[in-house]
Structure 1
């Protein structure tokens, strides 16, 4: 009887879904007849239904498979957990999800397949791309975590995790289907997000698995028998590392790394790979150094070194993992096949410099916090004054070398080519972001300081304790002021450097077509030098070559509104052409 009651909600869901499908078809026909465009609404409901039904069917089917494999959590009889759900109700739910979900998935999938065959625009729609990408990523994450559980169970106490096996089979099959679907039906512009986001998932999983695996292995070596359940932790870490490695290799190594360097590709490499790896390494190094300083010259909370340095293995693993991630993605940027200095290189240098600057600024603010704590009355909660000062020293020791290394390199390149470096978009955005973030931080800190001061003023209790209550806000204010003051001088120096003189407006072409071999960044360089709209038409084979300086010089002498430039072995040939019928602005 409980199974029948469990099926009733599923029957209601079937009726509602059928009504929605009929309504969507009627709206499609009515909109087409009235000259409207009902496709976005119909696609939204169509792919939303397909996504939800796939999830329902996958949950039900994976749970039934888990029962078949001998799952103890869903075995018949009393619940294995006190107060847990009735296994009969769970069986009813799994049956309902499977019996209702699978036929409806087949129905809507068949409808979707027919609509794609009738109208090729269906495969190029953004809604379909979002559905395929989201479904593939959800299936990827669930199956990867299920694989982790399977490997962990097999490595620790060799047995089959029935629940994980059911999830891995079902969700793994869904992922394979959507991987093939995305590769074959999505246009190139829509495949990028799927590949890049999958690479991000793989990188995060394999990095976390590496940190846990190395940290737990070191614990077994240096603290044998002291960590409870370390065998299970090691097995779980191994499973996470293997699952993440498989995902990362499939998405990044064999697919995304070979794709064109789109903005999303660069965002992944620069932000998550370079920036995330460096932050992870610096964080691990900071904690490791701080623990060391506290033990020798600070106020350790533990009486034995083994207890105090209990987290040192994980911190060392984080340093190693972050350094590897940073080094690999830095190398990926360097193998771009371009010569000369590019905006991507500038973004990398300014990004790493900003990370080092952030740690340095935090250290400066923390120094002030420690000084205020040392001269004002109050009770140290959580951290002593000495340990606070050591945390400031740690941030400065870690942050200053990174910031100075990259910032001084940037300064040398500015000195070597001032106009090009000062005029670069990356440098302008970097300075603007620093001023903006420093201003926002200073404003928030000033409000916090004012609140702390006014509270004691109102009750006439202004004292040294008042200054102590404002120490964190004052620390942020000092750090923000230091960052703004220094970079204000940099900004004023930039204004004194004369930019590259542009081509006179009355003589500059407004539309330029370049015909010759492909040359990365050539279009951007010519657009910056001339202010014109530039297109590059690549020729088959290596016909001629591009000399940027000769090209800009030749265009500077061209007086027509449009130009066709042919690459040659010598100076480029500039032809005056008519762009009738094409806008010049």
Structure 2
């Protein structure tokens, strides 16, 4: 590429960035202005003028100045989108995604807030939320039309609105469902008299929460089923599946289960508070564990049906969440044990703390054991090329991350303990106990030390196994030339793990950028190939050709 063409490409990229940022800002300004004007119409009928002259002037300026400017700039942008290079630009995809997501969140939250406010009654706040919701709903419909346009829709980040819309609806729906279920369970556990909020009957709050659950569920279904979000894999879809469906739901489930076990343990061994106060967190915890487990099981099922990378990523994330819960429980148990040791009489504080640690360990420990399978060493180091090698690499990265984070926490905790020790001996203070001052960081140090030591030992053991087995592998390929237009790093690793041969990467002159090639398929294609040199080509459609060469 010449200097002039490179400079021209950079100028076009900067021009697109500025154009789409300006268009996004103008659309937001116009929507805010129209929302303010519509709110005043709903509140005062046909009269816009009120005592708030400054607010009215701001709304008029935003709507009557920002609106036409946004329309003019959009018209200029829309005309240029006949060129495929414009539609394929990252700026156009980012703009549509950002405007789509923002308008969806604001429209959904305000319209659902309007319905919830109307159910509660005795409030005029619904007019403001209705005005904002209607305007942003119109913006959402407009950008959805552009996103689905057959000739001018974005080519880059084309699946992002579907993925993000699905998980936005899921989060809102799950939050509403948990709140509604917790209110119902609270009535069943503690009675209706304890669940009224500021004189409002409990069933009104439950009905308002059901509105949020139904609205979020509808948005989730629309993007997940109607728009095909369930069928998307790779890239942002995989990240959302792991981050929201597995990690988020796992934290919600284990957190709710831990609090539930804690309340039950307190009912059995620590009834030092009134029964109503002991039972207060139980309903919300059970609701979180129940709803979270449904979401968790569903998305882990989807992960098991996906590629090996997603499957093992789901497993590692689940193991990490459970490990945090179990390690936290160990640290709290050590803390409570030290408190009981230095206290002449068993107090309610250390006992409650001890039960909290036990509940966290009882919830996180079994899940970590079943997911990580520490006694099953065959799953840790699986012989064979391709996918198993990728899994081993991901597992080792996980081990290094856990060990590194634990080591950092341990160092910080050691500093805190040292500070407390020096402060105790240097300060001229009568009374108190050294153990009492360091028991909390000492418990954390013990937990992180155990975690760091175990994962470092596992990493050392698994790292030594392939090194010991490497000489026994028969090398059948001398050198591989990889020709691809996509990122060559994943295929490069697979070739080295499967054959042990050196790899030379050639980039396609025609670009050839398309869907990423299946690394597992490449490993299978290389099995049984015997040649001094092998040519591996990856086509624009992801097709892989393995060609043995003579000489």
Instruction: Settle same-fold status: TM greater than 0.5.
Output: yes
The alpha-carbon distance between structure 1 residues 111 and 379, as it changes in their structure 2 partners (threshold 3 A), is farther
User: Which runs of 5 or more residues in structure 2 are unaligned?
Assistant: 485-489, 507-519, 539-543
Correspondence for 1:203: 170
Match of 2:65 among 97, 100, 116: 100
Separation of aligned partners in 1, 2:478 and 2:69: 62
Describe the SS at the equivalent of 1:191: coil
> Are the equivalent residues in 2 in contact too, given 1:144–1:243 (CA < 8 A)?
yes
Equivalence map 1:184-223=2 (5 Å): 184=149, 185-222=152-189, 223=191
Correspondence for 1:63: 36
The alpha-carbon distance between structure 1 residues 306 and 60, as it changes in their structure 2 partners (threshold 3 A), is same
Equivalence map 1:155-174=2 (5 Å): 155-157=119-121, 161-174=126-139
Correspondence for 1:80: none
Separation of aligned partners in 2, 1:550 and 1:176: 46
> Are the equivalent residues in 1 in contact too, given 2:381–2:462 (CA < 8 A)?
no
Deviation string 1:19-61 (CA, Å, 9 cap, x unpaired) is xxxxxxxxxxxx99x9684333332332222222211211221
- Per mean C-alpha deviation after superposition, the further-off stretch among 198-207 and 416-425 is 416-425
In the alignment of these two chains, the number of paired residues is 508
Deviation string 1:147-177 (CA, Å, 9 cap, x unpaired) is 2112213434499822222122210111111
Separation of aligned partners in 1, 2:241 and 2:158: 17
Structure having the higher Rg: 1
What's the offset of the Cα at 1:67? 2.8
- Per mean C-alpha deviation after superposition, the further-off stretch among 283-292 and 259-268 is 259-268
Confirm or deny that 1:264 pairs with 2:229: no
Correspondence for 2:269: 297
Equivalence map 1:296-315=2 (5 Å): 296-298=268-270, 300-301=272-273, 303=274, 305-315=275-285
Deviation string 1:396-425 (CA, Å, 9 cap, x unpaired) is 111111011112278264278356768711
The alpha-carbon distance between structure 1 residues 419 and 450, as it changes in their structure 2 partners (threshold 3 A), is farther
The alpha-carbon distance between structure 1 residues 473 and 158, as it changes in their structure 2 partners (threshold 3 A), is closer
The alpha-carbon distance between structure 1 residues 124 and 92, as it changes in their structure 2 partners (threshold 3 A), is same
Describe the SS at the equivalent of 2:532: coil
Match of 1:508 among 478, 481, 493: 478
Correspondence for 1:326: 296
Separation of aligned partners in 1, 2:153 and 2:474: 45
Separation of aligned partners in 1, 2:123 and 2:75: 39
Separation of aligned partners in 2, 1:419 and 1:240: 49
Correspondence for 1:255: 227
Match of 2:338 among 358, 362, 372: 372
The alpha-carbon distance between structure 1 residues 466 and 361, as it changes in their structure 2 partners (threshold 3 A), is same
The alpha-carbon distance between structure 1 residues 282 and 258, as it changes in their structure 2 partners (threshold 3 A), is closer
Confirm or deny that 1:424 pairs with 2:395: no
Separation of aligned partners in 2, 1:116 and 1:269: 32
Equivalence map 1:39-438=2 (5 Å): 39-70=12-43, 86-117=51-82, 119-157=83-121, 161-184=126-149, 185-222=152-189, 223-226=191-194, 227-228=196-197, 229=200, 230-255=202-227, 257-298=229-270, 300-301=272-273, 303=274, 305-336=275-306, 342-376=308-342, 384-408=349-373, 411=376, 413-414=378-379, 417=382, 424-438=392-406
Confirm or deny that 1:445 pairs with 2:413: yes
> Are the equivalent residues in 1 in contact too, given 2:531–2:549 (CA < 8 A)?
no
What's the offset of the Cα at 1:258? 4.3
Describe the SS at the equivalent of 1:470: helix
> Are the equivalent residues in 1 in contact too, given 2:495–2:523 (CA < 8 A)?
no
Deviation string 1:73-132 (CA, Å, 9 cap, x unpaired) is x9866xxxxxxxx43333232222221122111111112123333x43222222222222
Correspondence for 1:28: none
What's the offset of the Cα at 1:374? 1.8
Separation of aligned partners in 2, 1:131 and 1:89: 31
Deviation string 1:327-352 (CA, Å, 9 cap, x unpaired) is 1101112233x6xxx23222222221
User: Which runs of 5 or more residues in structure 1 are unaligned?
Assistant: 1-30, 78-85, 515-520, 536-545, 566-571, 580-585
Question: What is the TM-score with the length of structure 1 in the denominator?
Answer: 0.77
What's the offset of the Cα at 1:362? 0.9
The alpha-carbon distance between structure 1 residues 70 and 460, as it changes in their structure 2 partners (threshold 3 A), is closer
What's the offset of the Cα at 1:284? 0.8
What's the offset of the Cα at 1:247? 2.0
Separation of aligned partners in 1, 2:415 and 2:223: 47
Match of 1:488 among 456, 478, 487: 456
The alpha-carbon distance between structure 1 residues 76 and 289, as it changes in their structure 2 partners (threshold 3 A), is farther
> Are the equivalent residues in 1 in contact too, given 2:260–2:286 (CA < 8 A)?
yes
> Are the equivalent residues in 2 in contact too, given 1:147–1:239 (CA < 8 A)?
no
The alpha-carbon distance between structure 1 residues 510 and 98, as it changes in their structure 2 partners (threshold 3 A), is same
